[in-house]
Structure 1
């Protein structure tokens, strides 16, 4: 197996120069860099990142903990995070908890043992993990992590998103607006509910508490919440769903009951997943700035790695409204 000394000898440079090229820690002339890279390829040299981290250096590896990699929203975000990390010379270890707290704990142990340079946490499971399980690694929370942990946080402004979505339905002439909320123990669900209530209150629109039904952020969760909503004696003309997957389940239930979107029922989602524009009809939804989220999260994490003692930062990224065809303009009822 080739060593860093073999690479240095073949390239005609010092081992220090090889290290700087591989770790991108100091400027090396283009000629020297090309010689090192050519030697690495010829010798098929693979740096021992674990050994390097044990010596106190950088592993050039970041961890990312997420709840469900199958969710199109997460899948899209992961691609952006991976692109940004790669651009900065880091590899990404992805840990999919699938909603299991035990898996989340095991992954945290593994990442600490691997001595990853830092951690991105975009998992609602973080709120149930003991802070002690985080160890001392630099970390950025990209979801509803515990405030008291003192880590950097970059979040979607879910309260403003819920407000904007409901305001759009109100501006389209709807007053009886239902809400398919996510799980009530998740802060982003509560924030979107708060935004919905604020918009309804500003418009002096009555909220029947039976119009607010919760479910998981899944197709099944949306279907179950929609079934409960449509079973209520007072009907709605429009619905704000807390994510796009819930919309898909809700539309299926509506179709089974003979309701068409948006003729009989308008609906707006949240996340703007890649398939949202291919819904039938194309879905009006709230879009989260995933590229900006990935860029800022990595930038915050690298700053934390560089200066571990700095004060925790908190950033809210505003969502944007994407108007398509799932919301109909409702004419005022003549008196």
Structure 2
């Protein structure tokens, strides 16, 4: 015989409406009561009737992840593509945040490069109650359209006015990298940055400049090259610098992809890390973990970003009029063996 919501209510010794509130992830129910209800659900192996709930709540109990990329027609792991580690790592955090809820998750890789007016199919189909936008390759038109259709939205990885945003504190990213290198007496620091028009790139550079100022270092000893975030971008940028005759004693890569590309070039030049040159990466992903050198990295805590984004989106769905959430996740320095004292 099929277990009903009434059976769960009797087992937990609560009302049917209380069980319904718990199933809808409401914060109005005491934690002790939530625990009793979830234990009853587990014991009775109760499965909510999602189709019926959609009719009564106008919800699908499905959330969407839209990963905004320029690599739509490329292999995401190609050397000339931006490695999609942000999608993978933040998604793990989102899954953690959805634990013990009945929300399902759909994912779509989306590029508007060829058609700026296009919308992700997940949004057009209205199959979702809310959406996570991951990555910075979106236009204000997309955000405004989401506002018009009242689709709860959280942006991961970038700040956007008036929209819930979870992001890494980018100025602190650059500051921590420069501070580590300056304290170890490096004098010629090369910053392989992302695109110059990116606000995240500008903030990382600002953080490095702040550290140079605090330590009384000549800003002319900070060399900056802007490019894309792919491995090939890091490779080409360092190759150009190397062929110009500049020999930095330290490099900070603005992404793990850039750092990996730079390290490939250094390997070809038979440059030893860290004996000849120190290097720091940013993100802390599978690329840095599998590096042949135990990299020192600035950890963005992307899983934490995903988990906090999940909390923000569930709250936005439950309380559409609540204040906008802008949450910066502080990065931390994770010491490896790729930086030494000079």
What TM-score do you get using the length of structure 1 for normalisation? 0.81
Aligned mate of 1:72, from 77, 85, 88:
85
Aligned mate of 1:91, from 101, 104, 108:
104
Other-structure match for 2:284: 272
Residues 277, 220 of structure 1: alpha-carbon distance in 2 compared, 3 angstrom cutoff? same
Matched, 1:138 2:139: no
Check the 8 A contact 1:124/1:145 in 2, yes or no.
no
Residues in 2 aligned to 1:249 and 1:72: alpha-carbon distance in whole angstroms: 15
Other-structure match for 2:260: 248
Matched, 1:321 2:324: no
Other-structure match for 1:333: none
Check the 8 A contact 1:118/1:137 in 2, yes or no.
yes
Map 1:185-200; keep pairs closer than 5 Å: 185-200=197-212
Matched residue of 1:124: which SS? coil
Matched, 1:62 2:76: no
Other-structure match for 1:262: 274
Residues 169, 13 of structure 1: alpha-carbon distance in 2 compared, 3 angstrom cutoff? closer
- List runs of 5+ in structure 1 lacking aligned partners: 331-335
Residues in 1 aligned to 2:340 and 2:8: alpha-carbon distance in whole angstroms: 70
- How far residue 197 of structure 1 moved from its aligned partner, in angstroms, is 1.5
Residues in 2 aligned to 1:258 and 1:194: alpha-carbon distance in whole angstroms: 32
Other-structure match for 2:232: 220
What is the number of residues matched between the two proteins? 315
Check the 8 A contact 1:59/1:115 in 2, yes or no.
yes
Residues 318, 30 of structure 1: alpha-carbon distance in 2 compared, 3 angstrom cutoff? closer
Residues 219, 56 of structure 1: alpha-carbon distance in 2 compared, 3 angstrom cutoff? same
- How far residue 98 of structure 1 moved from its aligned partner, in angstroms, is 5.1
Matched residue of 2:312: which SS? helix
Residues in 1 aligned to 2:5 and 2:314: alpha-carbon distance in whole angstroms: 32
Map 1:16-165; keep pairs closer than 5 Å: 20=20, 33=41, 37=45, 47-48=50-51, 53=54, 56-67=57-68, 70-97=83-110, 100=113, 102=115, 105-107=118-120, 110-127=122-139, 129-134=141-146, 135-147=149-161, 150-165=162-177
Residues in 2 aligned to 1:29 and 1:237: alpha-carbon distance in whole angstroms: 60
Matched residue of 1:204: which SS? coil
Residues 233, 57 of structure 1: alpha-carbon distance in 2 compared, 3 angstrom cutoff? same
Other-structure match for 2:300: 288
Residues 209, 59 of structure 1: alpha-carbon distance in 2 compared, 3 angstrom cutoff? farther
Residues 205, 116 of structure 1: alpha-carbon distance in 2 compared, 3 angstrom cutoff? same
Matched residue of 1:87: which SS? coil
Residues 184, 291 of structure 1: alpha-carbon distance in 2 compared, 3 angstrom cutoff? same
Matched residue of 1:292: which SS? helix
Residues 9, 126 of structure 1: alpha-carbon distance in 2 compared, 3 angstrom cutoff? closer
Residues in 1 aligned to 2:332 and 2:38: alpha-carbon distance in whole angstroms: 43
Q: Which has the higher helix share?
A: 1
- List runs of 5+ in structure 2 lacking aligned partners: 11-15, 70-75, 77-82
Check the 8 A contact 1:63/1:94 in 2, yes or no.
yes
